[in-house]
Amino acid sequence: MNILTGKSITKKFGNNEKNSVYALKSIDVTFEKGSFTAIMGTSGSGKSTLLNMISGLDTPTKGSLFFKDINLKELDDDELTSLRNKYYGFVFQFFHLIPVMNVMDNITLPNYFTQEKRNEHSLKKRARSILNDLGIEQLATSFPSELSGGQQQRVAIARALINQPEILLADEPTGSLDSNTSILVMEQLQRLNSEHKQTIITVTHDAKVAAYADRVLMMHDGYIVEEQTLSKLDHYENKVMYLSQLLNSIGRKNK
């Protein structure tokens, strides 16, 4: 079942013909429920723009996006906000935790913005269970400044999961982490996908990160130029090598 469908999505920035940029050029794309997709590509290829369209943070100039059978174009701003709060969880490169709140309060905060609020007891129980899943249950009363980058990102993932989102969107989730910590974070995302069937879409320029996904969309100049299923390659190292070569060849071909 497709959880997201994009039909002929075009995004043009700028109004006059001289200065306008087509960040997305009539893209057709689908995401299946329970899938783990990485969007890769050269710099400026349209990865973040595509993510913004998917999440309804920005609207396409042409084309339509469907969350299940809901056409995002038909929603007003309030309806879009409540759809995002209910069905989407977001993880960013910089964790955006609130420094004056401890981990438990950071994680439970998004619940106060949804229509389906949990009571205090059930909310904390869910938060503890997510922290446990992510291996950071001992950090519940710590403050962000007391945590390493990898721990902060795991807290940010926990926060993104508190409302049981149907889709977890991650924009360069390991962009500010060292390579060992990146691996730890990606392993957690992979586990969420395999054990909890969490649908995940991540943007990355890093083959080592994308290799954790089971499908990769390669973008260049506003197009999806390749789509690859990775599960047929068995070893992680083979996936990394394959994706690095693919990214390089796209960069070279289009110079």
Ligand X SMILES: Nc1ncnc2c1ncn2[C@@H]1O[C@H](COP(=O)(O)OP(=O)(O)OP(=O)(O)O)[C@@H](O)[C@H]1O
For residue 49, give every residue at least 6 positions away whose Cβ sits within 8 Å of its Cβ, in sequence order, or none.
Answer: 11, 23, 24, 58
**Nearest distance in Å: CB 193, ligand X:** 22
Nearest to 152 by CA among 123, 129, 127, 185: 185
Q: Which residues of 119-148 are buried (b: 16+ CB within 10 A; e: fewer)?
A: eeeebeebbeebbebbebeebbeebbeebe
Tokens of 190: 């992979």
- 22 exposed, middle or buried (CB, 10 Å; 0-12, 13-18, 19+)? middle
Q: Interacting stretch for ligand X, rule CB under 6 A, among 42-50, 66-74, 76-84, 152-160? A: 42-50
Considering beta carbons, is residue 150 or 222 the nearer one to ligand X? 222
Q: Which is closer to ligand X, CB of 46 or CB of 63?
A: 46
Q: What is the DSSP letter of 187?
A: H
Instruction: Out of 3, 31, 38, 49, name the contact with ligand X by CB under 6 A.
Output: 49
46 binds ligand X (CB under 6 A): yes
- Give the tokens for residue 195: 């054990």
Q: Does 217 bind ligand X (CB under 6 A)?
A: no
Query: Cβ closer to ligand X: 5 or 48?
Result: 48
Does position 198 interact with ligand X (CB under 6 A)? The reply is: no
Stretch that binds ligand X, among 46-54, 193-201, 226-234, 247-255 (CB under 6 A): 46-54
Q: Whose Cβ is closer to ligand X: residue 21's or residue 98's?
A: 21
Beta strand segments in 93-214, E: 167-171, 199-203
User: What 3-state DSSP class applies to 87?
Assistant: helix
Which residue among 3, 4, 9, 23 contacts ligand X (CB under 6 A)?
23
Binding mask 155-174 for ligand X (x = CB under 6 A): --------------------
Task: Name the residue nearer to ligand X (CB basis): 13 or 94.
Answer: 13
Binding site for ligand X (CB under 6 A): 13, 21, 23, 41, 43-49, 205
